[in-house]
Structure 1
Amino acid sequence: MTSANFNLQPEILENEIIKLIPLQEDHFEALYEVASDPLIWEQHPIKDRYQKNVFKPFFETAVSSKGAFLVLDQKTNEVIGTTRFYDYNPEKSNIGIGYTFIGRKFWGGPYNRSTKKLLIDYAFQNVNSILFHVGAENFRSQKAVLKLGAIKINEMTFPINDGILHFEYELKKEFVN
């Protein structure tokens, strides 16, 4: 069932590990503190996003998208990173989840999976399929998307990312427990 009233930025999504709140302008400094680590971006198509002047347009686009979230640790309220919904297509009953990054302190634990699970569970109330676009050299994110049960369906380039090759993965509602 597809909903024309799909709210891409609900007030709060949370579980026992993560809290997602709508990304706001005043979150810039706290989020940039996490994003300023060059190692976060080493496999990313835009490797210099740790620089403030490169991060700022990414952040502003996220805020204006009205589908982005600040990711917080549920217990401490510490800023972990950000993620967002994008490219909602009611006709095809799909949406993208991406533009996600989390601080290295939170790698290897339950944080990324918990973040994606919140978004996936919420999205599947409104769409039948979720798309993920991952840079061809971003092996860490490719593995994470495959662990969610998504299947690679396409290879594509995005002009916005200087024509860098990306892999498109799809997670279908009917295949999720």
Structure 2
Amino acid sequence: MQQSNFNLQPDFLENEIIKLIPLEEKHFEELYKVASDPLVWEQHPNKNRYERDVFRNFFEGAMESKGAFLILDKTTNEIAGSTRFYDYEPENNSIFIGYTFYGRNFWGTGFNPQVKKLMLDYAFQFVDKVRFHIGAENYRSQKAIEKLGAEKIDEINVAYYNEPSRHNFVYEIRKN
């Protein structure tokens, strides 16, 4: 039996080296330092998110979602990036995880699978399906999510907060 009161933004989720804390307005400058690297967005559908105004729009959407987190490296207290829960559908017993990005020094370090595991373990207390929108050209993210056992179930156009719609793949991981 699933619990019904899914809090999209618990006070924190953490393990030995990672802590997810609710994103707040005061985090903008520090997070923008991570996001201002053009290579972070190179395979992303919205390739210009490294620009301050474009990232400000992304950040505002994150704040409005009430499901966004700052990803912290507990060993160094360094900001690794951001992620969020969104589009909770109780009638479909599903939630999306996404809008995730990391600074390059966290690429290939095992951070992403650990963050996803924290989020999946939390989400599966409330839902049976976790889904992900991944840009059609974001091969790095597609490979990463497939390694976690996700299956591609659809292709759709997704319009992000005040941005044009882009071609995305939908991936899904089921609780069982």
Bin of the TM-score, shorter chain as denominator length = over 0.9
The aligned length equals: 174
| Aligned: 1:91 with 2:72 | no
Which residue number in structure 1 is paired with residue 175 of structure 2? Answer: 173
Which residue number in structure 1 is paired with residue 113 of structure 2? Answer: 113
Which residue number in structure 2 is paired with residue 136 of structure 1? Answer: 136
Amino acid at match of 1:9: Q
Secondary structure of the residue aligned to 2:91 is coil
**Deviations for 1:103-131, whole angstroms, at most 9, x for unmatched residues?**
00000011111111110000000000000
Structure 1 segment 1-177 matched on structure 2, within 5 A: 1-160=1-160, 161-174=163-176
Amino acid at match of 2:54: V
How much does 1:158 deviate?
Answer: 1.5
Q: Distance in 2 between matches of 1:110 and 1:165?
A: 27
Q: Distance in 2 between matches of 1:152 and 1:170?
A: 6
How much does 1:42 deviate?
Answer: 0.5
Q: Distance in 2 between matches of 1:148 and 1:59?
A: 27
Amino acid at match of 1:112: N
How much does 1:164 deviate?
Answer: 1.9
Q: Distance in 1 between matches of 2:73 and 2:3?
A: 30
TM-score where L is the length of structure 1: 0.95
Amino acid at match of 1:73: D
Secondary structure of the residue aligned to 2:92 is coil
**Deviations for 1:123-155, whole angstroms, at most 9, x for unmatched residues?**
000000000010000000000110110000001
Q: Distance in 1 between matches of 2:127 and 2:74?
A: 27
Q: Distance in 2 between matches of 1:81 and 1:159?
A: 22
Amino acid at match of 1:99: Y
How much does 1:162 deviate?
Answer: 2.6
Secondary structure of the residue aligned to 2:61 is helix
Structure 1 gaps, min length 5: none
**Deviations for 1:30-70, whole angstroms, at most 9, x for unmatched residues?**
00000000000010000000000000010011012110000
Secondary structure of the residue aligned to 2:143 is helix
Identity %: 61
Q: Distance in 2 between matches of 1:2 and 1:63?
A: 27
**Runs of 4 or more above 2 Å deviation:** 1-4, 159-163
- Check whether the contact 1:34–1:81 (CA below 8 A) recurs between aligned residues: yes
How much does 1:3 deviate?
Answer: 3.2
- Check whether the contact 1:2–1:90 (CA below 8 A) recurs between aligned residues: no
Q: Distance in 2 between matches of 1:74 and 1:94?
A: 29
Structure 2 gaps, min length 5: none
Q: Distance in 1 between matches of 2:133 and 2:65?
A: 17
